[in-house]
A and B are shown apart, each in its own frame.
Chain A
Amino acid sequence: MKRNNEACIDVMEVHKSYGKFKALNGISFSIPCGEKWCLLGPNGAGKSTTLKLLAGLMEPDSGIIRIMGKSPEDDEIKRLYGYLPEDALPYLTLSVRENLEYIGALRGVEGLEERVNYLIDYLELREYERKKVSSLSRGNRQKLAIALSIIHNPKILLLDEPLNYLDIPTQEKVIKLFNSMKDSTFLISTHIMSVATRLTEKALIISSGKIVWEGRIEDLRKMGGEDETIESVVARIITSGLNA
């Protein structure tokens, strides 16, 4: 298993099981620094497991995971990435501002107050800043979760269904915010094709714990005929499990 020296994220022959269920069955991929990739696949394909492994929240049963050549559990690496879990749950007993201030302080963010105010204003959380998270709607919790994942301007962003629960205007703002992070490396798990096409340029398609396709989204588009949507192409790849 050889590591790609220019890659920010390296996953090599990784296996992960939950009891008898094989979530990941020997996946390998490499993401160069600065590139934006999405992870497409049906429910239960192993997308969230892949992101959790990359975030250092669990260890693979076998195989190697490296971020900038180091283990994801390395503190130096944890400074570099931001992770947005699916259905993220900020601390319910704290207010919006407290969540941001505590997490920002523990991450050692410089100019924290300014950064907190920017994110609160940008994500239109000002009227809720003193309210406990337990009293917020699911959409506002998601906005806070997004703010928490990028409070430290991460170089690598691991996002699991980032636009869940957001209304359309907020989705547009969040897409603009993510797209402004031009130098960051993205790996975004989603099953909504429009999210993938607006935030990323390349795709990994995962099915039953295996990578069944990887390449440019533009190439995916080209694989379909005039009458075939990109969603149909992805569905065809997932269903057939072809390594096109």
Chain B
Amino acid sequence: MLKLLKFILVTRFSRGFLAFILVMLVYSIAISFLISHDQASKQFNSPTSLYLPFFLSLMALVSILGGGILVTKSDLDYLFTLPIERSQIALSLFIAQFIGTTGVITLFTIPYIIELSTGNYEYLMLNVMDLIAFSLFLTSLTVVSGKLNNLSRILFGSLISLWFISPIFDFKLTPVSVFSGNLTVGNIFLLP
């Protein structure tokens, strides 16, 4: 299984991309220690409260319209003819997609996540964990969307996208609420 997962990862992400993600993460964590932490998470304001719901909503729309797990022609030519159980291949592809989704979301949100954490290490850890949980949730949604026809997928993607952007309009009952100062409500929707 590990051999298969490694193969799927190296066929999707170049070493440069993985190194870049790693450097960004290390940089962001380091920078978080330099930020003053005299604010509570709830008191953050302005661009972050708009940007995160907007970006995550856009990411959800793009991912869902993309339709399911990324399978390349090379996968069809080689991966699916290997004597490996389909369930193992499916799980490995899911993990690879989850890592990719997490990487892209991390790249585009980490400065805002740090701002949201206001220099508080515990908040930062909590927000990073929520970010990972959100990526897992979004990856699962893309898998579900892969089984839909085009029209249903557009409708599904639009509804999810609206749901994710709703904190901008002060609607709190959404997983994205965790990134707009409503940790408890957001986690109730995100973690199950």
Q: Report the bound CA distance from A78 to B78 in whole Å.
A: 11
Q: Chain B contact residues: over half helix, strand or loop, or mixed?
A: helix
Residue B30, interface by CB 8 Å: no
The contact size tier of chain B is 20 to 34
Contacts of A81 in B (CB 8 A): 81
Of B7, B10, B12, the residue contacting A106 (CB under 8 A) is B7
In the assembled complex, B11 has its CB within 8 A of some CB on chain A? yes
Query: B69-77, B103-111, B163-171: which one contacts chain A?
Result: B69-77
Q: Is B85 an interface residue (CB 8 A)?
A: yes
Whether A89 contacts B81 in the complex (CB less than 8 A), given A102-B7, A105-B3, comes out as no
Q: Given contacts A89-B74, A91-B74, A106-B3, are A83 and B81 in contact (CB under 8 A)? A: yes
Distance between Cα atoms of A59 and B4 in the complex (Å):
24
Q: Is the CB of A79 within 8 A of B10?
A: no
Given A57-B76, A105-B3, A106-B3, A93 and B10 contact (CB-CB distance below 8 Å): yes
Q: Let me know if B81 and A57 touch, CB within 8 A.
A: yes
Whole-angstrom CA separation of A21 from B7 in the bound complex: 36
The distance from the CB of B101 to the nearest CB of chain A, in whole angstroms, is 19
**In the complex, which residues 52-71 of chain A have their Cβ closer than 8 Å to any Cβ of chain B?**
55-57
Cβ-defined contact, B78 with A91, below 8 A: yes
Q: How many pairs of residues, A versus B, come closer than 8 Å at their CB atoms? A: 54
Q: Determine whether the beta carbon of B10 is less than 8 Å from that of A90.
A: no
Residues of B within 8 A of A145 (CB): 77
Residue of B nearest to A78 (CB): B83
Within the assembled complex, what's the spacing in Å between the Cα atoms of A108 and B84?
A: 11
Give the chain B neighbours of A102 by CB distance below 8 A. 7, 10
Output the residue of A57, A90, A106, A108 with the most chain B CB within 10 A. A106
Give the CA-CA distance A145 to B86 in the complex, in Å: 22
Q: Does A204 contact B (CB under 8 A)?
A: no
Decide yes or no whether B43 CB sits under 8 A from chain A: no
**Contacts A88-B77, A89-B74 hold; do A106 and B82 have CB atoms under 8 A apart?**
yes
- A159, B12: Cα distance in complex, Å: 27
Q: Compute how far the CA of A75 lies from the CA of B84 in the bound complex, rounded to whole angstroms.
A: 6
A81 to B78, CA, bound (A): 12
Closest to B80 in A: A57
Contact A89 B83 (CB under 8 A): no
Specify which chain B residues have a CB less than 8 angstroms from the CB of A91 in the assembled complex: 11, 74, 78
- Measured CB to CB, the residues of A under 8 A from B are 55-57, 73, 75-76, 78-79, 81, 83, 85, 88-94, 98, 102-103, 105-108, 145, 148
- Offer 16 A-B interface pairs, CB within 8 angstroms, sorted by A: A57-B76, A57-B80, A73-B86, A78-B81, A78-B82, A85-B76, A89-B72, A89-B73, A90-B77, A103-B78, A103-B82, A106-B3, A107-B82, A107-B83, A145-B77, A148-B78
B residues bordering A, Cβ < 8 Å?
Answer: 3-4, 7, 10-12, 14, 72-74, 76-78, 80-86
The 6 A-B residue pairs with the shortest CB-CB distance, nearest first, are: A78-B83, A75-B83, A79-B83, A91-B11, A91-B74, A89-B73
